[in-house]
Chain A
Amino acid sequence: MNTTAETPTHCAIEMRGVSAGSMRDLNAVVVEEVNWSVAPGDFWAIGGLQGAGKSDFLMLTAGLMAPVSGTYCFLGEEMPIFEDHRLKDRLRLGFVFENGQLFNHLTVFENVSLPLRYHHNLSKAEAAAETQKLLELTELAPWADSTPGAMARNWQRRVGLARALMLRPDVLLLDNPLAGLDLRHRAWWLTLLEQLSRGHEWTNGRPTTLVVTTNDLRLWRRTARQFAILKDKHFMVLGDWKQVEAASDALVRELATSSLQHD
Chain B
Amino acid sequence: MQKGNASTFDSPQVRFVLRMPTPPFFSNFVGRKLFRFLLTIQGLGAFALITLGVMIKKFGAARRVIQPLIFHEISRSGLQLLPMFLFLAAALGLLVIGQTVSWATRFGATQYLGIVMVSVVVRELGPLISALLVLARIGTANVVELGTARAMGEVEALEALGIDPVHYLVVPRVIGMAVGIFSLTVYLIIAALASGYLWAFLQNMPLRPGDYFSQLANSLTGLDFALLAIKTILFGFIISIVTCYHGLAQPLRLEEVSYATVRAVAQSVIACVLIDALFIVIYIAT
Contact = CB atoms under 8 A, between A and B. Distances in A.
B62 A121 contact: yes
Given A114-B65, A117-B64, A118-B168, A103 B157 contact: yes
Given A27-B12, A114-B163, A115-B163, A101 B152 contact: yes
A115 B156 contact: no
Contacts of B251: 24
* A interface bracket (residues with beta carbon within 8 Å of B): 20 to 34
Interface centre among B2, B10, B145 (most CB of A within 10 A): B2
Contacts, number: 63
Interface string B1-42: 011000000101000000000000000000000000000000
B285 interface: no
B160 A62 contact: yes
Nearest to A90: B162
A101 B62 contact: no
Given A66-B2, A121-B62, A114 B161 contact: yes
A133 interface: no
A84 B64 CA distance: 19
A123 interface: yes
B161 A99 contact: no
Where chain B touches its partner, the secondary structure class is helix
B63 interface: yes
B159 interface: yes
A97 B157 contact: yes
B211 interface: no
Interface residues of B, number: 24
B162 A115 contact: yes
A95 B160 contact: yes
Nearest to B161: A115
Interface centre among B65, B152, B156 (most CB of A within 10 A): B65
Given A114-B65, A123-B64, A164-B160, 13 more contacts: A23-B156, A26-B2, A59-B156, A62-B160, A84-B57, A97-B157, A101-B152, A101-B156, A104-B152, A114-B163, A115-B163, A118-B161, A126-B64
20 contacts: A24-B251, A26-B2, A62-B160, A64-B160, A66-B2, A99-B153, A102-B154, A102-B157, A103-B154, A105-B145, A114-B65, A115-B161, A115-B162, A117-B65, A118-B62, A118-B65, A121-B62, A121-B64, A123-B64, A163-B161
Interface of B: 2-3, 10, 12, 57, 61-65, 145, 149, 152-154, 156-157, 159-163, 168, 251
